[in-house]
Amino acid sequence: MNLDQITSVSGEFDKDLSSVIVLKELEELRIKYLSRNGIVSGLFEKLKDVPKEEKPAVGNKLNALRNYITENFNLAKIKLEEKGSAGKQSIDLTLPGTQRQIGSKHILTQTVDEIKSIFKGMGFSTFEGPELESDYYNFEALNFAPDHPARDMQDTFFISKDFLLRTHTSPVQVRVMKNYKPPIRAIMPGRVYRSEAVNARSYCMFHQVEGLVIDTDITFAELKGTLVFFAKQFYGNDLKYRFRASFFPFTEPSAEMDITCYICGGKGCKICKYTGWLEILGCGMVDPNVLINCGIDPEKYTGYAFGMGIERTAMLKYNVQDIRLFFENDFRFLKQF
**Which positions touch ligand DAH (CB under 6 A)?**
168, 170, 210, 248, 251, 282-284, 305-307
**Pick 283 or 315: Cβ nearer ligand DAH:** 283
- The rounded distance, in Å, linking the Cα atoms of 218 and 211 is 14
**Pick 33 or 250: Cβ nearer ligand DAH:** 250
Identify the DSSP state of 303.
Answer: E
Report the nearest approach of ligand DAH to the CB of residue 285 (Å).
Answer: 8
Report the nearest approach of ligand DAH to the CB of residue 307 (Å).
Answer: 2
CB of 138 closer than 8 Å to CB of 167: yes
Q: Say if strands 125-126 and 184-193 run parallel, antiparallel, or are unpaired.
A: parallel
Say how many Å lie between the first and final Cα of the chain, rounded: 83
CB of 184 closer than 8 Å to CB of 213: yes
Q: How far, CA to CA in Å, does 33 sit from each of 16, 74, 250, 308?
A: 10, 13, 101, 88
Report the nearest approach of ligand DAH to the CB of residue 214 (Å).
Answer: 12
Sign of CA dihedral 75, 77, 78, 84: positive
Report the nearest approach of ligand DAH to the CB of residue 283 (Å).
Answer: 5
126 C-beta neighbours (distance < 10 Å), count? 14
Report the nearest approach of ligand DAH to the CB of residue 324 (Å).
Answer: 20
- Number of alpha helices (DSSP H) and beta strands (DSSP E) in the chain: 12, 9
**Pick 29 or 305: Cβ nearer ligand DAH:** 305
**Pick 13 or 313: Cβ nearer ligand DAH:** 313
Residue nearest to ligand DAH (CB): 307
**Pick 39 or 228: Cβ nearer ligand DAH:** 228
CB of 84 closer than 8 Å to CB of 76: no
Report the nearest approach of ligand DAH to the CB of residue 169 (Å).
Answer: 7
**Pick 69 or 186: Cβ nearer ligand DAH:** 186
